[in-house]
């Protein structure tokens, strides 16, 4: 059995989990659960749902630990698991009453009853603008801007080139800006 002090990188810890040291999964949970939650909260626009999905990500991490390949970055792998959990949830619920907020109702969901400061208002417009983006554009901006992942990591995660990610991020920012200024006029 490996001591936690001997394991320093996420990849080493995941290898230990893969080799049956399941208690090491708690270290990875501590390191990543906030980032995964924030990613899923921004993707779903629903904090309660994001909490549930985050738990599912870490359950899948243990269940599918043998799919982790030595030499791969753990962060890329766990975000792929999170993307799959999000996608599976969306697919399972698209024919049922949706847990996702309709774009038309986004303003009702995001705006507090009391008038906030100008900063609060700008953040609300930003969140509403994000909700208007396609799922892929929203995901790219969340990963690169909110989660601060490098383009190389996002390219690996999405199995494409860095150049392709740069172009898509640039287009997503332009679309976000367009939505933001349209909503700001209202």
- For residue 96, what are the domain limits? 6-100
Domain contains 27: yes
Both 28 and 62 in one domain: the answer is yes
Q: What does the pLDDT look like over 122-180, one tens digit per residue?
A: 888 888 999 999 999 999 999 999 888 999 999 999 999 999 999 999 999 999 999 99
The last residue of a domain, from among 35, 65, 100: 100
Both 66 and 112 in one domain: the answer is no
Q: What does the pLDDT look like over 46-68, one tens digit per residue?
A: 999 999 999 999 999 999 999 99
Domain contains 1: no
pLDDT of 1 > 90? The answer is no
CATH classification at residue 27: 1.10.1740.10
Domain contains 152: yes
Number of domains, the chain: 2
Average pLDDT over residues 2-31: 87
Both 15 and 84 in one domain: the answer is yes
Both 176 and 137 in one domain: the answer is yes
Q: What are phi and psi of 15, to 5 degrees?
A: -60, -40
Both 134 and 84 in one domain: the answer is no
Both 35 and 75 in one domain: the answer is yes
Percent with pLDDT over 70 in the chain: 85
Write down the pLDDT at residue 104.
Answer: 43
Write down the pLDDT at residue 116.
Answer: 53
Write down the pLDDT at residue 118.
Answer: 77
The last residue of a domain, from among 100, 134, 153: 100
Report the alpha-carbon distance of residue 137 to residue 82 in Å, rounded: 17
pTM above 0.85, yes or no: no
The first and second tokens of residue 96, run together, are 């049922």
Both 133 and 57 in one domain: the answer is no
Write down the pLDDT at residue 98.
Answer: 43
Write down the pLDDT at residue 73.
Answer: 92
Q: What does the pLDDT look like over 3-13, one tens digit per residue?
A: 545 678 999 99
Q: Is 126 exposed, middle or buried (0-12, 13-18, 19+ CB in 10 A)?
A: middle
Q: Distances in Å between the alpha carbon of 146 and those of 12, 41, 82, 84, 170?
A: 26, 11, 15, 19, 15
Both 37 and 70 in one domain: the answer is yes
Write down the pLDDT at residue 6.
Answer: 63
């Amino acid at each position: 059995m490996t001591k936690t002090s001997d394991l320093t990188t996420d990849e080493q810890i995941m290898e230990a989990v893969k080799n049956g040291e399941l208690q090491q999964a708690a270290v990875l949970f501590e390191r990543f659960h906030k980032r995964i939650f924030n990613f899923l909260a921004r993707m779903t626009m629903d904090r309660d749902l994001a909490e549930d999905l985050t738990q599912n990500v870490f359950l899948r991490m243990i269940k599918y630990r043998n799919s982790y390949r030595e030499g791969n970055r753990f962060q890329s792998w766990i975000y792929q698991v999170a993307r799959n959990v999000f996608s599976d949830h969306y697919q399972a619920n698209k024919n049922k009453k949706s847990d996702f907020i309709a774009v038309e109702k986004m303003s009702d969901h995001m705006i507090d009853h009391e008038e906030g400061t100008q900063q609060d208002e700008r953040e609300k417009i930003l969140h509403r603008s994000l909700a208007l983006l396609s799922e892929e554009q929203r995901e790219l901006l969340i990963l690169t801007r909110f989660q601060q992942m490098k383009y190389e990591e996002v390219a690996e995660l999405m199995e494409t080139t860095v150049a392709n990610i740069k172009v898509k991020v640039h287009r997503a920012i332009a679309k976000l800006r367009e939505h933001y200024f349209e909503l700001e006029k209202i």
